[in-house]
Structure 1
Amino acid sequence: MGVRRLGMVAALMAAWLWLPIPDARAETEVDVALVLAVDVSRSMDPDEQELQRQGFIEAFRSPQVHDAIRNGMLGRIIVTYFEWSGVDYQNVIVPWTIIDSPETALKFADGLHDNPIGRLRRTSISGAIDFGAKLLEQTGVEPVRRVIDISGDGPNSSGRGVAAARDEAVAKGITINGLPIMLKRPSGFGDMENLDLYYKGCVIGGEGAFLVPVRERQQFADAIRTKIIREIAALPDRSLIRTIQAEVPANCLDGERGMYRWDRN
């Protein structure tokens, strides 16, 4: 009997050695780490800021977004949302949150709904990119992709050059997508006629980068939902930029030429 028992134990041990070892990393992996970086500079009217916030809330309450998350390779993402304006102002509204179900997506939306919206001077897209890149080093998980989603209504006018910030982030493997808000006609310093071209040439970058311009108020919610779904699902890019205006090269120094004069005020 003793020999038979020893043989059975040996056989069980041999079988155990061939069993697949659970990968501890699987529990900390996500399809995408998504930074939502939202402009709250004073060039944005309060109603525009409210439309912008509400668009993100509706996106994370949307069944289409829930389906996009569930249908991912891992079925979960991690998201954070911060507001930005000048080079020294970046305020995290909702910290890194794992979303792996409709319930956790709704909780993220509730976090946006329950926090007030800031409104400050100046526009530092470069500061937002730099801050977003730092946040992506603090997720505590292993994302398959890392994305910064920049929304705003003007060119970079504070902090360092936007192209330098973009290039450094892209060199780290980060994708930067854009949501240029173009609801008002340019009327003074900091306004830009073809903001979509500026975002295309100076802001977005990295693998699969794209942008979705918003030119009418009723487009806000649909544009944000569409953009979030594409970022979550890494959908093939049908066209880099939609309904683009005249194809002329953007000058990445536009907006930055007068920044020192404005920063002294």
Structure 2
Amino acid sequence: MRWYVSIGAVLVAGVLAGGDVAGVAAPSPQNQFSSQLSSFAPGRQSADKEATPSVDVELILAVDVSYSMDMDELAIQREGYAQAIVSREFLQALKSGPNGKIAVTYFEWAASSDQKIIIPWRVIDGPETADAVANEIMKTPIRRASRTSISGAINFAMPLFDENPYRGLRRVIDISGDGPNNNGGPVVVARDAAIEKGIVINGLPIMVKEPSYSTMDIDNLDFYYEDCVIGGPGAFVVTIKDREKFKEAIRTKLLLEVAGRTPERPVVPAVAASKEPRVSCLIGEKIWQDRWGR
């Protein structure tokens, strides 16, 4: 069975407390694996163990900048990531890991051929490095672009791990977005390719606006992310449904990822998982085809 929990029910390395800021969904059975979080890519880890520095997690932040995101949302999203990285809770979670540091890269995405790296691979190991990354995020001009290709973002992210000079116990792609895939290859193909490489994909579906035909929003974007986007051991979704909780939800997700935690205490049962996705994984492509015929 699949579960939702409120953020107030999640404990992340003893540092997270608060009210209901968003829904956190644990992975569906079809996205669970028997391997443990600490055993990602054992061949690569053993080969690289002595040759490269070690971090607790290699974290890719893949951020949606498609036109369906309004300028206010884009600004709040930027501020949310920057503020989360320098927060006291984040720095405490950082120190809870065996190495006390992570490697992070941050890129923005829209269409399948449109990805822009804002922060190349950096190590965050304390307040100074966290401040440097946050400042660089904030000083980059905000942009918007056409189409939404989650598959393109995943395909762009995967080889970035090979370029990272640091090797982590875990490899995570963190995807935020406010709509389904409507460009590039099918999202499930990209997702499955990442899972085969031992990569975990977590999701931040943004649902602060009423679904609109003009923006290609859909109902139940959280279900779409759960069934079609996330995957790998411990994968989870944090859903943002309240604009006022936007930044807090981003911080919650980063805390969970840095501490290597998933929701531990299910409190509200959701729909039981089935073999078929609750929302078609090709719904975005279908809407685009019905509207523009291409």
TM-score for both structures, normalised by structure 1? 0.85
- Please say if residues 37 and 148 of structure 1, whose CA atoms lie closer than 8 Å, have aligned partners that are also in contact: yes
1:195 to 2:221 alignment: yes
Deviations 1:28-50 (A, max 9, x none): 11100000000000000000111
Partner SS, residue 112 of structure 1: helix
1:221 to 2:247 alignment: yes
With 247-256 and 235-244 compared, the bigger mean Cα shift is at 235-244
Deviations 1:206-257 (A, max 9, x none): 0100010001111111101110010011114236898968987121010012
- Please say if residues 158 and 263 of structure 1, whose CA atoms lie closer than 8 Å, have aligned partners that are also in contact: no
Matched positions, count = 243
Partner SS, residue 82 of structure 2: helix
Task: State the match for 1:15 in structure 2.
Answer: none
Partner SS, residue 170 of structure 1: helix
Partner SS, residue 212 of structure 1: strand
Residue in structure 2 matching 1:62, options 82, 87, 90: 87
Pick 1 or 2: higher relative contact order, CA cutoff 8 A, min separation 6. 2
Task: State the match for 2:12 in structure 1.
Answer: none
Task: State the match for 2:113 in structure 1.
Answer: 88
Residue in structure 2 matching 1:155, options 168, 180, 187: 180
Name the % identity.
48
**Structure 2 residue identity aligned to 1:153:** D
Give the Cα–Cα distance (whole angstroms) in 2 for the partners of residues 240 and 192 of structure 1: 26
User: Structure 1 pair 256/244, CA: closer, same or farther in 2 (3 Å)?
Assistant: farther
Residue in structure 1 matching 2:148, options 95, 119, 123: 123
Alignment gaps of 5+ in structure 1: 1-22
**Structure 2 residue identity aligned to 1:60:** I
Task: State the match for 1:135 in structure 2.
Answer: 160
Give the Cα–Cα distance (whole angstroms) in 2 for the partners of residues 243 and 196 of structure 1: 15
Give the Cα–Cα distance (whole angstroms) in 1 for the partners of residues 269 and 176 of structure 2: 17
**Structure 1 residue identity aligned to 2:279:** A
TM-score for both structures, normalised by structure 2? 0.77
- Please say if residues 106 and 118 of structure 2, whose CA atoms lie closer than 8 Å, have aligned partners that are also in contact: yes
- Please say if residues 210 and 240 of structure 1, whose CA atoms lie closer than 8 Å, have aligned partners that are also in contact: no
Partner SS, residue 73 of structure 2: helix
Task: State the match for 1:9 in structure 2.
Answer: none
- Please say if residues 62 and 176 of structure 2, whose CA atoms lie closer than 8 Å, have aligned partners that are also in contact: yes
**Structure 2 residue identity aligned to 1:220:** F
With 23-32 and 139-148 compared, the bigger mean Cα shift is at 23-32
Task: State the match for 1:205 in structure 2.
Answer: 231
1:35 to 2:64 alignment: no
